[in-house]
Every structure is written in structure tokens, then in C-alpha cells.
Amino acid sequence: MTLRWKQAISLGQIAAAMLVSLAVAFGDWPVFGLPRPPPAGDAERLALALLWMLVPALCLLQGLGAASAYRLGRADAVDGQREGVGRLLEIVLRYNTNTLEQGFLALVAWCGLALTLPADQLGLVPRLALLFAAGRILFFWGYLIAPPLRVFGMGLTAYPTYGALLWLLWRAVQGA
């Protein structure tokens, strides 16, 4: 596959991930994952964000379990080697690193959103968690099938978080 085709496929996936992210984040969806009544105080709002951080944590736990299982089954990988132990382990380790990075950004973004959004908009946090989980699954499977196919999953994971962080920065600069 030529570089131009890879770029075209990546740009298509980026556009699709942005559209899906916007539709899920801002669509008129039923509210789920919120206590009734919605959290009012800062502590309750942060507790909501931290509860939904279980999603990134479980995504990372799955990757750590996959790496451990792989290493236990291979004599050439059991001592923590990374070089020459196979494509699957390399993909799992990259997934784990990226999931940890994206999870940290999500932690900051979701806590910021939980503290700044009006109570009736807090349903955004669980929707972002769903996008994160779907993105991680598609990122991993895309990587396994063909590395350029990981872009859509990466976009579902990252773009909502990046958008939230930029919105929080804009609010901070505006003095809100």
C-alpha cells in the first residue's frame, strides 16, 4: 500500500471518528449513568467522574492481562524481554502505553467537565466513557488487522478528550 493510500485511509478514519464522537457527545441520547438527582456538590461531581474512570482502568487492565498471559506462555518473553518476542506482544505493549496516556488525559478532562458542566449536561461524562471503551477495542483490533486501521479507534478514544481539554482551557482563559 502506498503512502498516499495510507494517508487517505487515515484521513477518512479521522473524519469518521470526529463525526461519530460529535454525534455521541452532543446527540439527543437518553441519559444514563447518572444518579438521581444529578450530583450537585463538587465532591459528588468528582465521584461521578472517578466512577467512570473505571472504563479506562478496565481497558488498561485487559491489556496488562493480555501481556501477562502472553509472557507466561513464551519462554523467550517470560523475563520481560521486548525485542524479538513477536508482533502480538509488541501491539499489546503499545496498546497499554497508549491506553495509560489516554486514560490520564481522560481523568483530567472528565474531572474538569464534572466540575464545570451544568447538572443537566453531566451525562456527557458517561458518553465519553463509552467512546473511550469503543475506541480502545477498535484501536486494538485495527492494530492487529493492519496498523493503519487503528486510527478510527484512536480517534474515538482521543478526540472527545482533546475537545473537552480544549473547552476547559478556553473556559479557563475566559475566566469562567
For the chain, the domains span 38-174
CA distance 129 to 110: 9
pLDDT tens for each residue of the chain, 176 residues long: 687 888 889 999 999 999 999 999 998 888 777 777 888 899 999 999 999 999 999 999 999 999 999 888 877 777 777 777 788 999 999 999 999 999 999 999 999 999 999 998 999 999 999 999 999 999 999 999 988 889 999 999 999 999 999 999 999 999 85
Torsion, CA 91, CA 78, CA 54, CA 148, rounded to 10 = 0
> What CATH topology corresponds to 38-174?
Four Helix Bundle (Hemerythrin (Met), subunit A) (1.20.120)
pTM of the model: 0.91
Cα-Cα-Cα-Cα torsion 28, 19, 100, 6, nearest 10 degrees, comes to 160
